[in-house]
Amino acid sequence: MSEERTLLIVKPDAMQRGLAGQIISRFEQRGFYIVGCKLMQITQELAAQHYGEHKDKPFYAGLVKFMTSGPVIALVVEGPRVVETARTMMGKTFAYDAQPGTIRGDYGASKGFNLIHGSDSSASAKREVELFFKPEEILEWTPANRGWLFNDEDLGATSE
């Protein structure tokens, strides 16, 4: 599997609780690396675009209000199978359903405040990264320890 990218958002509740560093470090410790990062306030317009698929659902207005209520950290994280792995690391949406050892299972306390957003598919990741980041805000770099984290098979190399 070759490397891919995903969007992560450390949500306002995690920021208010001082959990941003602990959450971000879990992805770095796992071996994924940050290629884009910004502290920002999500606007109503950006929230409407990002959560447009939920527009007709009863929780939409509250979700937009929550996501625009305080600062967030938006990240582009890269590595093999990062979309799938990040979703597993985050845990189930509602804290009381999330397993211990996941971000939501370890730090979550409620249904409405779930600390982190992660793209749910490669297609969503591509769309969401482009929504939150300009191309020049994403860096192309390779960490020095990459070879000790991922073998050739992880990175999609074939043995011929």
Residues labelled as active-site residues: 117
Give the residue from 36, 34, 31, 29 showing the smallest Cα distance to 146: 31
Torsion of the alpha carbons at 111, 124, 46 and 11, rounded to the nearest 10: 40
Give the residue from 70, 63, 82 showing the smallest Cα distance to 126: 82
Angle between helices 82-90 and 20-30 (to 10 degrees): 140
Q: What angle do CA 139, 66, 55 make, to 5 degrees?
A: 90
